[in-house]
């Protein structure tokens, strides 16, 4: 797991909070923001819901898509915040869902996962000890 400075951690959580305000979450009322860092640039995403629930897009996946589409190579940190979570809520209300954990495992396996408001950072192995994986084939 990559280590991240307190200053970068704060910048990432601030960016995640700012983008969460743009969430489209009329069904859950659960506004989430994510900020992905590649060591030099921050990429953000927020959750976008749909009345066909399975078509919703989580903030973490939106931020990862933003980073990949922008050419980011090595994701070193991901910060996640739900601006509607109660101060005394369980951390289980703020960690990435299973689909997002799988995305993180494949696209940023060494990233520090920051749940804004929590002191410790997590690795994807902490949150998803046995991710699905297949060997990538090399054609040529």
* Main-chain phi, psi angles of 44, to 5 degrees: -120, 160
Q: Which of 49, 60, 93, 119 is catalytic?
A: 60
CA distances from 119 to 52, 91, 111, 115, 133 (A): 35, 11, 16, 8, 30
Q: 3-state class of 129 per DSSP?
A: coil
Is 120 among the catalytic positions? Answer: no
Task: Report how far Cα 119 is from the mean position of its chain's Cα atoms.
Answer: 17
Annotated catalytic sites, by residue?
60
């Amino acid at each position: 797991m990559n280590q991240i400075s307190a200053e970068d951690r704060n910048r990432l959580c601030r960016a995640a909070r700012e983008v969460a305000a743009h969430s489209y979450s009329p069904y859950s009322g659960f506004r989430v923001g994510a900020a992905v860092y590649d060591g030099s640039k921050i990429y953000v995403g927020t959750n976008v819901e749909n009345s066909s629930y399975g078509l919703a897009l989580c903030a973490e996946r939106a931020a990862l898509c933003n980073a990949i589409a922008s050419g980011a190579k090595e994701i070193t940190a991901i910060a996640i915040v739900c601006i509607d979570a109660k101060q005394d809520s369980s951390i289980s209300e703020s960690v990435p869902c299973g689909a997002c954990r799988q995305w993180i495992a494949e696209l940023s396996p060494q990233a520090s996962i920051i749940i804004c408001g929590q002191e410790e950072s997590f690795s994807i192995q902490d949150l998803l000890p046995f991710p699905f994986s297949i060997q990538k084939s090399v054609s040529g």
